[in-house]
Chain A
Amino acid sequence: MPQLEMMPALDYQSDVYKDAYSRINAIVIEGEEEAYCNYNQLAGLMPKDAEELQKLAKMEFKHKKGFEACGKNLGVTPDIPFAKEFFGELHGNFQAAAASGNIVTCLLIQSLIIECFAIAAYNIYIPVADDFARKITEGVVKDEYLHLNYGEEWLKANFETAREELETANKQNLPLVWTMLNQVAKDAIELGMEREALVEDFMIAYGEALANIGFTTRDIMRMSAYGLAAA
């Protein structure tokens, strides 16, 4: 039986690595910024939970600072305009949902999709990160599980009324995730992260969240793979 091929050692200071890192690092920084804004906006929509949501927002802000430090540590300038465009459509969908007061859709986008995407990406990144970034990312990923849990618990408590909107919001937003993932697949490879592992980890985290909320295995298999084949 053949053995697993060892990954070639990554050169964190090479131009190729730093070039890819400038986009991936920007996405992470922008993702945390997006999360910070989204939780603050949700606090306005959900006055009863405002205090907790503002606490989550603050954590996201701290994560953003941490990832900015990771870029600086490698001497990389993050390509923020690229990252803003990268999140553009998902951002637009969140804003439209917030404007119509569709809390369920907002939670699906932020607390489920963005958090699961972050959890998957950070977990895949940790084993291949430089020492400085690894420590920061390990701390961040622990927080992100808490954030995912917030959304899960709320949606679980409101499952019967939220179910239909969750299905619609899933159809509208999950295909965007696959497109976004494809957009950075090449850069991710330079950082030692494989697309299929990212997809699998995302589907695991997302599927577990859907299960906790109350969906059946059948629902989960349908919902978590939605749009993947076409992407």
Chain B
Amino acid sequence: MFGLIGHLTSLEHAQSVARDLGYPEYADQDLEFWCSAPPQIVDEITVTSATGQVIEGRYVESCFLPEMLATRRFKAATRKIINAMVHAQKNGLDITALGGFSSIIFENFDLSQLKQVRNVTLNFEKFTTGNTHTAYVIVRQLEQASKQLGMNLSDCTVAVCGATGDIGSAVCRWINQRLDVKELLLIARNPERLQALQDELGRGKIQTLEESLPQADIVVWVASMPKGVEIDATTLKQPCLLIDGGYPKNLGSKVQHPGVHVLNGGIVEHSLDIDWKIMGLVNMDVPARQLFACFAESMLLEFEKWHTNFSWGRNMITVEKMEQIGEASVRHGFRPLLIENL
């Protein structure tokens, strides 16, 4: 049995979902209430592989809300994630993906030190950030969507925004080892980490966001936190491919300009309908088939019976592991989301 730990995108969203699902006790409550709310299993999922194999899963709602970070209620935020993990483990889930902000909170607040929670010893091997599959899907989107737009990668400058993060660095490694791009621009906030990445890759130009955007044919946006950055679409190249692999995904609404193509990054489509309710609630375009690649990773690990923390820690994703999860992804019928209505 696989698991997904997820959360809703805002207090308002959470209230409306609670109302839609018929949980009036949760529907009209304020942030204070959500800070005390326990995790719940709110969906049972059945997935059929392209091979015909069928697996079962559970969706654990952590009751975390992004407002907890915005209002600096960090203890509440970390409790939500840890308690959801305990809930998943207690319910016998063999491999569970940490979706949305969950893995970011786990990493940034160093929650691996909280192994003993009440009468439960967390077994981190049963959890995955799903970042390897997300990084794999993003690079495939980069390869395939650029082709859709008639771009030739060897003529393209690619900017990776959030290059030093877990997903960003993996994307850079893939670009470096597997793709022939004209230039790679590295953008991130921490100069030491940027330097370390450049040293590791042996290439890449360190730039600011403002410098890099007008030069880039392709922008991979994998910055982990919303920064309130505004992008002036008129300064971008045309055509320009913007892959929004960050969380939450909001570039599509921020950047609207002819010639600028925004693609939701790190999203996969399954070749068969998935029996679940929850993707409809997180506003996927095709809820029965589209999902976050990190969630799909726990499905793949369940299909393959790789019950291990395939993606864990920071900056440990290798190109080989991306290929390994990628092969499984293809085998079981997942494909990267591409540009529609060109």
Residue of B nearest to A222 (CB): B25
Residue of A nearest to B117 (CB): A123
What CA separation (Å) do A226 and B79 show in the bound complex? 22
* Residues of chain A within 8 A of B25, CB atoms compared: 221-222, 225-226, 228-229
* Residues of chain A within 8 A of B79, CB atoms compared: 197, 200
B7-54 interface (Cβ within 8 A of A)? 22-23, 25-26, 28-29, 32-33, 35-42
CB-defined interface of A193-219 with B at 8 Å, one 1/0 digit per residue?
011110111011001100000000110
Within the complex, what minimum Cβ distance (angstroms) separates B313 from chain A? 16
User: Number of contacts between A and B (CB, 8 Å)?
Assistant: 69
User: In the complex, are the beta carbons of A145 and B119 less than 8 A apart?
Assistant: yes
User: In the complex, are the beta carbons of A199 and B36 less than 8 A apart?
Assistant: yes
What CA separation (Å) do A229 and B28 show in the bound complex? 9
Within the complex, what minimum Cβ distance (angstroms) separates A110 from chain B? 20
User: In the complex, are the beta carbons of B119 and A196 less than 8 A apart?
Assistant: no
* Residues of chain A within 8 A of B215, CB atoms compared: none
> Does B177 sit within 8 A of A, measured CB to CB?
no
User: In the complex, are the beta carbons of A218 and B23 less than 8 A apart?
Assistant: yes
User: In the complex, are the beta carbons of A123 and B23 less than 8 A apart?
Assistant: no
What CA separation (Å) do A195 and B32 show in the bound complex? 11
Interface size on B, residues (CB 8 A): 32
Q: Is the interface of A mostly helix, strand, loop or mixed?
A: helix
Interface size on A, residues (CB 8 A): 31
Q: Which of B26, B32, B83, B224 contacts A204 (CB 8 A)?
A: B83
Q: What would be 8 A-B contacts, judged by CB atoms less than 8 Å apart? A: A195-B36, A196-B76, A199-B36, A204-B38, A217-B41, A224-B38, A225-B26, A229-B28
13 additional A-B pairs beyond A1-B108, A199-B36, A225-B33, beta carbons within 8 Å, are A1-B109, A4-B109, A142-B119, A203-B37, A204-B83, A218-B22, A218-B23, A221-B25, A225-B37, A228-B25, A228-B33, A229-B25, A229-B33
Chain B residues proximal to chain A, CB less than 8 Å: 22-23, 25-26, 28-29, 32-33, 35-42, 72, 74-76, 78-79, 83, 87, 90, 104, 108-109, 118-119, 224-225
